[in-house]
Amino acid sequence: MRAFSYDRPGSVEAALGGVAGQPGTTTEAAVKFVAGGTNLLDLMKADVMRPERLIDISRLGLDRIEELGGGALRLGALARNSDTAYDERVQARYPMLSKAILAGASAQLRNMATNGGNLLQRTRCYYFYDTGTPCNKREPGTGCGALTGVNRIHAILGASDRCIAVHPSDMCVALAALEAVVRVSGPKGERTIPFADFHRLPGDTPHIDSALAADELITAIDLPAEGFAKHSTYLKVRDRASYAFALVSVAAALEMDGRTIRTARLALGGVAHKPWRDPAAEAELAGKPASLETFREAARVLLRDAKGQSHNAFKIGLAERAIVRALAEAAGMEHP
């Protein structure tokens, strides 16, 4: 057991004061915010993360789900995943998001995990969790054990020679397709981050997961009015039906005019360091009839740069089939 101090501030301002001036990124800082703790505490027990101080933000009043007007919705960062998934407004307007949340973890974990924490959960790469192996995400400069090791669950898109880990969230894949906006507070005030810019690809700095600074706090996630309630779905392909992370997941959303696709949103999980979207693949769908051939061509465009590793090349074909099936389901067609 490593010793650490613990504080429970009563306001956002007090919480931010506790991390003011802290160096490093949000993932490597000595002072960490904690709410549900469903990921951070496991990482501390495994000696993967070693914060010297925990700031409990669970009582800051950021747990509400609120109307923004015009049909948009604001999800409090500290609202529990289960409360979000079962909220009647989320189920009615953003069924893809509700389905994605319920596809993740277990009911017990969803009852504790928060929306903000879901965005910041860290990879489940075996080598990241095993402190006896090299990992550039855990210890920059030590190497990537997965490159030449067991890499069945790893990335096929957006990887680098420094890291091939994938982001584990289901919720984030749906949020990427919805083009949500993340609201954060920090020493310079409030700012917003488009969801596409929140998570990072590994590049040369795989230890930096997101655009959030160490002295910033997620306060809310804003959902746009367009939730694609009529034509959307979330499909998760995994090794077993529960308690498993996605090998490939797909959030598919369509705006239809009869059987013609007007606009499309497509996001993949389990394949990259962040939820993966490709504007070219979405453009490939626009103006086209909803058909299996249309969907297959969009999948080919999206996966044109996919690269398999020694144990996960099967993911490319799996992703193509999953994309086609998810788009067909979103369009109201029978499964291919």
Number of domains the chain contains: 2
Residue 207 Cα distances to 193, 210, 299, angstroms = 20, 9, 30
Task: State percent of the chain over pLDDT 90.
Answer: 94
Report yes or no on 73 lying in a domain.
no
Structural contact between residues 152 and 113, judged by C-beta atoms closer than 8 angstroms? no
Report yes or no on 200 lying in a domain.
no
| pLDDT for residue 24 | 67
CA nearest neighbour of 164 among 179, 154, 177: 154
Q: Which of 43, 58, 73 is the last residue of a domain?
A: 58
Report yes or no on 67 lying in a domain.
no
- Please determine, for residue 21, whether its predicted confidence score (pLDDT) is greater than 90: no
The side-by-side arrangement of strands in the sheet containing 260-269 is: 232-237, 248-257, 260-269, 276-277
Domain that holds residue 251: 232-331
Report yes or no on 86 lying in a domain.
no
Report yes or no on 140 lying in a domain.
no
pLDDT, tens digit (0-9, with 9 covering 90-100), for 226-256? 999 999 999 999 999 888 999 999 999 999 9
pLDDT, tens digit (0-9, with 9 covering 90-100), for 168-184? 999 999 999 999 999 99
- Please determine, for residue 20, whether its predicted confidence score (pLDDT) is greater than 90: no
Q: Kindly give, in sequence order, each residue whose CB lies less than 8 Å from that of residue 137, ignoring residues fewer than 6 positions away.
A: 122, 123, 125, 128, 163, 165, 202, 206, 207
Report yes or no on 287 lying in a domain.
yes
> What is the CATH number for 261?
3.30.390.50
pLDDT, tens digit (0-9, with 9 covering 90-100), for 199-223? 999 999 999 999 999 999 999 999 9
Structural contact between residues 126 and 150, judged by C-beta atoms closer than 8 angstroms? yes
Report yes or no on 131 lying in a domain.
no
The CA distance from 15 to 23, in Å, is: 16
Report yes or no on 290 lying in a domain.
yes
Alpha-helical segments (H) within the chain: 12-19, 40-45, 81-86, 88-93, 95-102, 107-110, 115-120, 126-129, 171-178, 195-198, 279-285, 292-302, 314-330
Structural contact between residues 237 and 322, judged by C-beta atoms closer than 8 angstroms? yes
> What is the CATH number for 33?
3.30.43.10
The CA distance from 155 to 139, in Å, is: 19
| pLDDT for residue 29 | 80
**Burial track 299-322 (b if 16+ CB lie within 10 A, e otherwise):** bebbbeebeebeebeebbebbbeb
| pLDDT for residue 1 | 75
Mean pLDDT score across all residues of the chain: 96
Q: Provide mean pLDDT across the span 79-104.
A: 98
